[in-house]
Amino acid sequence: MQIGLTKDAGASQKSRTARTCNLLREAIVNAQLRPGQKLRIDELGKTFDASIGAVREALSRLTAEGLVIAQPQKGFVVAPISRRDLIDLTEVRIDIENRCLAASIRSGDLDWEVELLSLHHRLKALGSKYLDKNAEEANQWHIVHERFHDQLTAACGNSWWLKLRRQLYTQSERYRRLSGPLDSKGRDITVEHGAIADAALARDAKTAKAAMTDHLRRTCDIILQSDIPFSDPDEITRSGDTRSKAG
């Protein structure tokens, strides 16, 4: 009986830590916790109704993910952002995303196709709702958008590529959310998503990868021109084209 209780207690602690980690990650990605902000463990415990131990473990996990930095003798801070980091991140993400996408196109079955088609239709139906940050539909758009990109690569089969892809997606999403709605010069993001989905469903890996590359670079270019608080000097030209730098 005592062993059972110990196991239950351990499982409960893991569950509380996972919950705290998810809430902290979401707060960082959604810019509720800003780049460079000091993270006080006691305050976070109160905010997320979590124990000190759960917060410490969550911060350690997020440090491994690159969303938090542990400073010797100073504690934890939200990782800063920079133009150089965004460009490097985009370059690596394009590589990993396209590897996963190509493998998924090769291996995806009928269920994969059906789910991808369904998510594409849902995202298309939401249109440009993401532009209104205060609308409930905007939050729904972000959820469906994440699921759409996940589904594109869901049949990849390589767990390490998918783990790397998930980490890179989260980091990219942080930049995207910080910059606000990305609508530069009438960009039609619905058309971009459609081009990727159509090529994937047609099993045309070459076209799908080209569409994905264009999609990610467009996002990077627009973020570089935004007014989010980059930590590095404006060394990267804001010409609206990072193609020679990001891949």
pLDDT of residue 146: 95
- In DSSP notation, 84-137 reads HHHHHHHHHHHHHHHHHHHHHHHH--HHHHHHHHHHHHHHHHHTTGGG-TTSHH
- What CA–CA distance (Å, rounded) separates 84 from 231? 10
pLDDT per residue, tens digit, the chain (247 aa), is 333 434 454 556 678 889 999 999 999 998 889 998 999 999 999 999 999 999 999 999 999 999 999 988 789 999 999 999 999 999 999 999 999 999 999 999 999 999 999 999 999 998 876 766 667 788 889 899 999 999 999 999 999 999 999 999 999 999 988 876 655 566 788 999 999 999 999 999 999 999 999 999 999 998 898 888 888 766 544 444 555 444 3
Each residue's pLDDT tens digit, 68-87: 999 887 899 999 999 999 99
Running DSSP on this structure, what letter comes out for residue 82? -
Fold classification of 83-224 is Four Helix Bundle (Hemerythrin (Met), subunit A) (1.20.120)
Domain ranges, ordered by start, for the chain: 2-78, 83-224
pLDDT of residue 1: 34
pLDDT of residue 82: 94
- pTM here? 0.82
Give residue 17's identity as a one-letter amino acid code. T
Q: How many CA atoms lie within 13 A of 91 on its CB side?
A: 12
pLDDT of residue 245: 44
- CATH number at 2-78: 1.10.10.10
